[in-house]
Structures are given as C-alpha cells and as structure tokens.
Structure 1
Amino acid sequence: MPIAAIPEYLGNDFKSASPGQRFGMYLPIWTARADQEADVRKRAEAKSREGDEVSSLLSKGMEAVIAALRQRDRKPLAGLWDKNDFASRQAWRDVCALNKGDIERIKALVARQSEQVTTFGASDLLRLQATAIAPFTTGLGNEHPLENGFAFLNPYGLPYLAGSGVKGVLRAAAQELASGQWDSKEWHHAEDLHPEVHNKHGQRMFDASDLDVLFGSEALNGENHLRGVLSFWDVIPQIEGNSLMVEIMTPHQSHYYQDKAVAGSTSPHDSGSPNPISFLTVPPNSRFAFHVVCDTARLQDLAPDLANNERWKALLTEAFEHAFAWLGFGGKTSVGYGAMESEAMRQQKRDEAKKREDEAREQKKQQDAQRQEQSAQAWAGAKVKFNRANKSLSVEKDGQTAVALQPKGEELLGTLPPELRSKIMGNQFVKVTAFVAEGVLVRVSA
C-alpha cells in the first residue's frame, strides 16, 4: 500500500483531515517496501517467462530480486519513495470528498465573514452573491507531485479565492470598461486624470484617475505611489454537492512543443501520444460571496464624486458583472473556467426565460385558436348554458356537447345580445348557432 511522506506514528487513516492536507502532506502516493514486495510476488506468480525468472531469483532472497528488477530497462521495479502511478490515480477520489468537519468549517468561515460585515457601515461595504456556472480552479501553478497544484486556505485546508485575485480581476474588468470599447454606464471617464493627490502637508503631488483612487497605482520609478481605497476579502466557496471535482486536460503534440531535442524541428502529427492530466476544481453551482470594503474617508478626500451617492458601488457592481460574464475568476479562464453569475444576472435570466415561455404559450394559444376557427363546424339551434361556478359556457345538440372554459366562456357570452345574455344567466331555454372544433366551443352567434 503506498504511503504518505510522514512519520509512521501518524498512521494512514486521514479521512478526517481537510482536503488541503489530504492533497498535500497526507497524500499516499509514495512507494513503500511492502509495495515493492507485493509487486515482486505478483510478477513471480505470472505464468510467463518473466514469472519463471523472478521465481528463480527469489531463492536468493527478496533483496536480490528487488535489486535485479530495479536495474531493468523494461518495466523496472519502482524504487522506495518513487511516485506510485496507480495510487496517484486513486488519490483524486480520496481528495475530492468533503467530510463533516470540512463542511462545518466552511459554514463557520462564511458565518464569520457575515458577522464581520455588521461592523461596517452600509456605505463602506459592497457585498455580492454569485453562483459558478462553470468549474472554478486556482493555484494550478503550485508545485505538486500530481503535476497540477491547487490553492487551499491555510490552516483550514479549504478551497478559496484570494482577495488579491479578486482585486486583479476587478481591476482588469474596470480597465476594459474604461477603455470605451464596451457599452459602460459608469466607467467611460474613469481613466481621466482629475483628482489631485496631496501629501500629509497638503502639497499637491500628482493627479490620479478613478481607477488609481479605487485600486491604487505605482509608478515604475517608485514615485507617485497611491494606495487604493478598496480592500478585497478572500472568498470561501460554498461547494455544491460537498465534494470537489476532478477535471482533465489532454495536451496534444507534446513531442512538438516540449521535446527539447527536436522542438521546432519535428512537424506536429496525429500519431503522438496525448497525456491526460487531472486537476482539481470547485464544481459548478457552488456559491461565492464577494466582499469589498471602502475607506470612505480617504475616498471623500481623494475623489468626492465617487463618494457622493455611493457611486463607487455602482462602478464596482458593473465591474463585477463584466468580470462574471467575460473574464472569470481563478485559472484557465480563457477556456471558460471561473465563469459566474450574480443573483441579479440569474434573476434576469429567469425573467427572460419566463417571458419566452409566456410568449411561446401565447403564440401556441393563438395558433390553436386560429386552427380551431378554420376547422370549426356550425351547430345551428344548439342549446346554450352558462355555469356560474366555473364560468364556462357549454352548448349541446343531438347528444353532443362542446365547452368553452374560463375565461373564454365569459368572452363568448359577452358577444351575444344583452337580451339573450339575460335569459342565459337566468337559466332560460335559449338556442344559438355554435361553432365547434375538436369538442371546443370556438364562437357563438344569435
């Protein structure tokens, strides 16, 4: 059984550990002496030339067999502390599941942030709820024996989106909106240099744009440095299904791109061997709570127009909406990972879907009415009756009945002359010409 790179006294049962710990120091993918011996016995039992050879070597002792198999060019025996490929494939399943403690810690961290929110005034804080519509991943560049790392929040070992990452995405979104290439409601003058920055003695130092005031700026020469008025909190995902998810990327043409000896000299072709690579993600439909705190006192001093009527919130909200729809958060955003929707965006989608459903329903209703009108048969001298309880209008002739339900029943009743309507409402015997299609009363005339 492969082992983790930890002291033996810690044992090998890490189900209660956090996913970050199970993905890190407690990852059992390293070859132990017992794994080597098990592999030797398995090879010796094989009914093959190799099996006979290994069986004969066992007479010299296990150490001799292991040493001989380690020297082989083909199918060499794994050395101590070599990565076990089979265990590596199995490790993903053990890493993904969240235990009861993980779920409780996520709830506690989210509750802690919600409690901290109450310490800020309403004008100092922007809070947005978002739902992932694609897998979310971050920290893939972290070194890891399984090739792709993942960012966990220490010491809790839980997935998170760093506040610095949120700030970077929001700044990029704001720059795109301020460029004038997007139909922005708020950011069209955000790059104009107008607020004057003063030192502690009140002396004017340089001008800054709205982007500089909100996110900060730093000149290449180290001068004219300005700290932004916004602070971005880390985001703790509330994970859908209480489990992480494994995604796979499959790089092609590795012989062309990565083989240093022939890089650029061998043409790419389809006979190469793609190498599937697994990596961790937070599944879609997980929920993210974003918090941005503004130093409104500094904002009032640097850019009063952004502080008035909480305009900075309108700017940030638009930047968030743009980032959710077009940029994404975390890694692999260029291929769709990290896309999200705010609650307002989801409500807009629900409203648009309902509108389309209503329009389709109304169109079908009109088509059905038109078809019935075209195929309707006249029932001359049909007896008509109105049901006050369910507001339906029915006609009967020659043992056949047709009905118009509410509200169509009242509409058809209203097309008859007043004297006939009075008789029908009084349950008197009245005959009309009814037009019927498919057992439905379509039209009536006196």
Structure 2
Amino acid sequence: MAISATPAYLGQDFTTASPGLRFGMYLPLWDLPDGDARGRLISPDSKGRALLNACKLNDGDRALMKALTQRAQALAQLAGGALLQIQAEAIAPFTTGLGNAHPLENGFAFLNPYGLPYLAGSGIKGVLRAAAMELAQGEWGGGQGWDAAAVLALFGSEAEAQELRRGALSFWDVLPQVPGDKLHVEVMTPHQSHYLQGKESPHDSGSPNPITFLTVPPGAKFAFTVQCDERLLGPPDSALVASWRGLLKAAFDHAFEWLGFGAKTAVGYGAMKDVAAASRPGAGSASATKLASDTETWLAATLIFDKGRGELRAKLGGVVSAPLKGDAMKTFMTSLGEDDARLRKKGELKNVALLMCKTGNQFDIKALADAATP
C-alpha cells in the first residue's frame, strides 16, 4: 500500500486534513518494495489513488470555505465606498498553479494555511489588464470607454516601463465555493513525447502519455472584489472617478467571454459567467453578457471636444461621461447640424439636451434628446 512520506508517529489517516495538505505533505504516493524503506517508488496506480484521495472535501473544508468568503464580504463592507464586487460562476473546469513543484509534475494553488483552492489577486489583475488593453485597441466592437490612459491610471505601468506608476486598483484573492464534496481530476494525453524529447521525428503514431491534474469543477462560485484608491485618479469630479466601475465591469465581461481565469485558458479552462447578468431579462441570448443599463436625459449638458485625443465627452454638474470616439463620435457630431462646426472650433458646446445611457456609475452619450425616439 502506498503511504505518505511522513514520520511514523503521525500515522496514515489524514481524512480530516485540508485538501492542500493531502495533495502536498500528506500525499500517499510512495510504495515500499518488499518493505524496504530505502527504495521508495511511485507506481502509476499510486498516482491515481493519491489524487482521488486529495480531491475530497470534508465537512470542515466546506465550512471553512463558506466562513472565509463571509469574512471577505464583511471586510468589504467595512472598507466601504470605492469597491466593485462581481459574482461569477465557472462554466468550465478551473485550474491554477500547475507550474508549482510537485511529485506528480503538475501542481495546484492552495491558499496557506487553509489548504483550499484559490485564485490569486495578482492573476485576476493580469487577466483584467489584458482584457482592458484588448478593449482599448478598439477591435472588439467598441472600446467600452477604455483607452491607454485609463489602463495606465487603473492598472499602473508595466514592470519594464521607464517611469513606474502605481495603479489605483487592488484585487482581492478569491476562494471559489466548490459545489459537491470534491475537486475533479482531469487528464491530458500528449502524443508527441518521442519528438519533444528529441528521440524521433514527429508522427501521429506516438503512444499517449496520460497526465493527471486537479481542477475546480464547473458550477463553482467566484466572488470578485476590487478596491479602488480614487485619490490616484485625480479630483473627485474627474471622468475616471465617475466611470472606473463601468470600465471594470466591461473588462470583466470581456474576460468572462473571451479570456478566462487561471491556467489552460487556451483550451477552454477557466471560462466563467456573470451571475447577475445571467439573471437579467434576456439571459441566454447574445446580449445577455452586456451590462444592464438605464436611460437618462441631461437637459443642460456641456459637450467637450478634445481634438488632440479625438474624443467627445458630456458634462453635467460634476459628472463626466465616458468618451465617444471614432465613427460613433462622427455620427453624433454630424447630428448637431450647424453646432458641429462651433463645437469643433471652440471645443465646447453648452446647454445641449442629451439622452444618456447609464451603466453602473458610467454614463455614455446615446443621442440628442430631441432627436431620440421614446
């Protein structure tokens, strides 16, 4: 029988230990040939049994998982103000930490000292930064208000940048709420080991090499929390202070639909959906992933045209809209008629009635109020 590499006085019953300990320190992986402790071996059967044993969640694991999530929610309430929380659900297996050192070659990320699966805040930031940069490029049906300046202000500069700048956003670690009583074991079977190891030229008759690894099953709930230091975004009435939540929601939607979180996202792992978006009317259609929005009328707004940046914003009191750019901006400015030339010359046009689309705390210019259909 395979045993763990632990002192004899600990015994071999680790059913009450956390999954992280059963996957690591207490992994029952080692066979003793003829009872000789000097010649420990790892058999293929031992690998499978060890993983199945490690993926079980006992009552204590599930209670701790729930308690830690509740504690995070309580801390979020105490933090107050500048927070954004997104409730998501995995629609594909989720895995992370495969590169961690482990006797089975594929590791897994458990949060110490609790020994529960988690998604690190640094990983969340990386995915959302990539989503924001893709949206800012304008190649995904509109930038949703993102541009290079917003990416820099919210996420900070890259490590190799000449001038380093801290971003305004902080991303909390997430402990997924795993459905059922176990993690799952997935298998990948590469067929080209003969070529990758330099033994033969590539061909299609290579023997498969099954490699197992742990995953969090679909249906797991992820509670994302993002904190913003709005002091780093400028004055309280600045555009980013008013719009950062809307921008980040758009980045989350893009990441859920196209990028995924964790490892092996290129083959479909880590895909998620926004639970709140799925519960809105129209869920299940192509528009279900879009943010819910309301329409407001600004009766005496000021239009601000920035020729250098090629963008148009609207301002009412201390609220500034997200920028309108490209063809959408040209179409809207054409609808101004004679006022189009005045706006382009002076850079400002006052007392304009606008129909605005509100998404969270973000406002987008929709149309002239007197030209909009009810």
| TM-score category of the 2 structures, normalised to the smaller one | 0.7 to 0.9
* Residue among 220, 231, 245 paired with 2:184: 245
Deviation, 1:119, is 1.2
Provide structure 2 residue ranges, at least 5 long, that are not aligned to the other structure.
Answer: 288-374
Deviation, 1:141, is 0.7
Alignment of 1:131-170 (within 5 A): 131-170=89-128
Identity of matched residues, %: 55
Deviation, 1:240, is 1.3
Rounded Cα–Cα distance in structure 2 between residues aligned with 1:254 and 1:303: 59
Residues 119, 174 of structure 2: 8 Å contact kept: yes
AA partner of residue 268 (structure 2): G
Deviation, 1:295, is 0.5
Deviation, 1:224, is 1.6
Rounded Cα–Cα distance in structure 2 between residues aligned with 1:302 and 1:141: 43
Rounded Cα–Cα distance in structure 1 between residues aligned with 2:159 and 2:188: 39
SS in 2 for 1:129: strand
Residues 173, 322 of structure 1: 8 Å contact kept: yes
1:351–1:173: structure 2 CA closer, same or farther, 3 Å change rule? closer
Where relative contact order (Cα < 8 A, 6+ residues apart) is larger, the structure is 2
TM-score between both structures, scaled by the size of structure 2:
0.72
SS in 1 for 2:209: coil
Alignment of 1:279 with 2:277, yes or no, is no
Residues 29, 85 of structure 1: 8 Å contact kept: no
* Residue among 199, 209, 232 paired with 1:298: 232
| Aligned counterpart, 1:4 | 4
SS in 2 for 1:291: strand
SS in 1 for 2:224: strand
* Residue among 16, 34, 57 paired with 1:36: 34
Rounded Cα–Cα distance in structure 1 between residues aligned with 2:160 and 2:261: 27
SS in 1 for 2:180: helix
Rounded Cα–Cα distance in structure 1 between residues aligned with 2:45 and 2:215: 21
Rounded Cα–Cα distance in structure 1 between residues aligned with 2:131 and 2:216: 23
Rounded Cα–Cα distance in structure 1 between residues aligned with 2:85 and 2:125: 14
AA partner of residue 128 (structure 2): L
| Aligned counterpart, 1:216 | 156
Rounded Cα–Cα distance in structure 1 between residues aligned with 2:95 and 2:27: 19
Residues 133, 341 of structure 1: 8 Å contact kept: yes
Residues 257, 272 of structure 2: 8 Å contact kept: yes
Aligned length: 286
AA partner of residue 296 (structure 1): E
| Aligned counterpart, 1:332 | 264
Deviation, 1:31, is 2.2
Rounded Cα–Cα distance in structure 1 between residues aligned with 2:61 and 2:108: 17
TM-score between both structures, scaled by the size of structure 1:
0.61
Alignment of 1:359-378 (within 5 A): none
SS in 2 for 1:242: coil
Rounded Cα–Cα distance in structure 2 between residues aligned with 1:137 and 1:292: 21
Residues 174, 187 of structure 1: 8 Å contact kept: no
Identify, as 1 or 2, the structure richer in helix: 1
Deviation, 1:337, is 0.2
Deviation, 1:147, is 1.4
| Aligned counterpart, 1:390 | none
1:224–1:302: structure 2 CA closer, same or farther, 3 Å change rule? farther
| Aligned counterpart, 1:384 | none
Rounded Cα–Cα distance in structure 1 between residues aligned with 2:282 and 2:186: 29
Residues 153, 232 of structure 2: 8 Å contact kept: no
Residues 137, 281 of structure 1: 8 Å contact kept: yes
RMSD of aligned Cα (Å): 2.1
Rounded Cα–Cα distance in structure 1 between residues aligned with 2:56 and 2:137: 43
| Aligned counterpart, 1:109 | 68
AA partner of residue 19 (structure 2): P
CA displacement, residues 242-294 of structure 1 (integer Å, 9 cap, x when unaligned):
3100010000121112x23x3xxx33223321111110000001100000000
